[in-house]
Amino acid sequence: MVIIPATTGQMGVLPGHVASIAELKPGVLSVHEGNDVTKYFISSGFAFIHGNSYADIIAVEAVPLDRIDAGLVQKGLAEFTQKLSSASTDLEKAEAQIGVDAHSALNSALTG
Amino acid sequence: MAMAALRREGRRFAPLLSPRPIAAVRSSLVSEEDIPFGARSISTQVVRNRMKSVKNIQKITKAMKMVAASKLRAIQIRAENSRGLWQPFTALLGDTPSVDVKKNVIVTVSSDKGLCGGINSTSVKISKALYKLNSGPDKETKYVVLGEKAKAQLVRDSKKNIELTISELQKNPLNYTQVSVLADDILKNVEFDALRIIFNKFHSVVSFLPTMSTVLSPEIVEREAEAGGKLGELDSYEIEGGETKAEILQNLAEFQFSCVLFNAVLENACSEQGARMSAMDSSSRNAGDMLDRLTLTYNRTRQASITTELIEIISGASALEG
């Protein structure tokens, strides 16, 4: 089973899942093989669940959770929150918002 | 033997001969500076110079082959791993190279540096053939060129059809961020119904096959889905999330393009290094052959001049006696 961070929330996929296309938001992907759980933080991407119980997950970046540095995450979150509050144009706001989303997802991935 | 030793030291074999004015024997092909002044015999200087330069070429091409081999090893792993990026898209959307659309954009991937065999020429040849194939009434085909070599060839006769050229792709090591920015650029500035990416797929160190990958725009995907076939099953997929199917398809098409382009660029870089390896290998082998032939000529010339000197001396001596 895999739990994927779709834009609509965490989605669990088991064999026999209905065929779907899901867009992913930054979050934790956990792969459960029997009793082993491997967790990855993915930046974003797509998940295709095919009718024959095959799932393809394409992510732009995927990092095993133990490789993430908590200190840098906090720093990045603070930096982007500050940028969001001081953003003037829509583009800057959007960029800062993306940074905040990614970093808060990283944060919750490390703590949760 | 003594004469040969003296000649090697560049000294004249003076004692036996009277110091008469020396007329150097020159062949018509040889210029003044090649033969040292005062040389009486047939000079091997020309051949020696050629041998030196051919030996240098052999060394340089051998070194280039080693460099290409090491670069190939590094990039081959990345290229093979990146194949997994576009495979899910093909599993979902299928591959329809024969789709008939109005606006085609041909993205040709080539190298910036030369001396890599014929891979860039094959890519350009295929791009031109595709252009001809896709031309027709109210059809529009444009080029987007990546790399200097294809640009140089395409600019000659298709200059007005080139929409965008990008070079110095490999200045920094290839990474996805750079390619996604590039893909974004192309998607924003070029209107397309179908994007056809031409690159050399890396099969092995000696075989690279020109390949075309097709990425369809969301509208064409809808159109083909209605027509049936692999894309017809697209409707059976549920769309997760609050976005409409059109939005998801748009994101999907853009992501697919950047993934396919990333893989294409990596595979082409791999093929470039492989082609350069084999080109430099055949070049150093040719230089080796040339060197062998020159050595034979050199030896013949040398022996001929020794014989000539001997004859002169002996005939001179016998003239003195007799």
Per-residue burial over B95-117, b = 16 or more CB atoms within 10 Å of its CB, e = otherwise: ebeebebebbbbbbbbbbeeebb
ipTM: 0.84
pLDDT tops 90 at residue B43: no
* pLDDT tens figures, B162-214: 999 998 988 888 989 999 999 999 999 998 899 999 999 999 999 999 999 99
* pLDDT tens figures, B91-133: 888 888 888 889 999 999 999 999 989 999 999 999 999 999 9
pLDDT tops 90 at residue B317: yes
C-beta atoms of A7 and B240 within 8 A:
yes
What is d(CA A32, CA A24) in angstroms, rounded to the nearest whole number?
A: 18
Query: Residue B322: how many CB atoms within 10 A of its CB?
Result: 5
pLDDT tops 50 at residue B13: no
Residue B54 pLDDT level (bands cut at 50, 70, 90)? very high
pLDDT tops 60 at residue B22: no
Short-list B119, B135, B105, B107, CA closest to B198: B107
How far off is chain A from B284, nearest CA to CA, in Å?
43
Residue B24 pLDDT level (bands cut at 50, 70, 90)? very low
How far off is chain B from A108, nearest CA to CA, in Å?
21
Q: So what CATH class is A2-66?
A: mainly beta
Q: Which residue of B has its CA nearest to A45?
A: B255
pLDDT of residue B15: 45
Residues from chain B that touch A57, judged by Cβ atoms under 8 A, are 88
- Domains of chain B: which residue ranges? 1-12+22-43, 66-279
pLDDT tops 90 at residue B244: no
Say which CATH architecture domain B66-279 belongs to.
3-Layer(aba) Sandwich (3.40)
pLDDT of residue B8: 54
Indicate whether this model's pTM tops 0.80.
yes
Query: Residue B19: how many CB atoms within 10 A of its CB?
Result: 7
Residue B27 pLDDT level (bands cut at 50, 70, 90)? very low
Average pLDDT over residues B288-305: 95
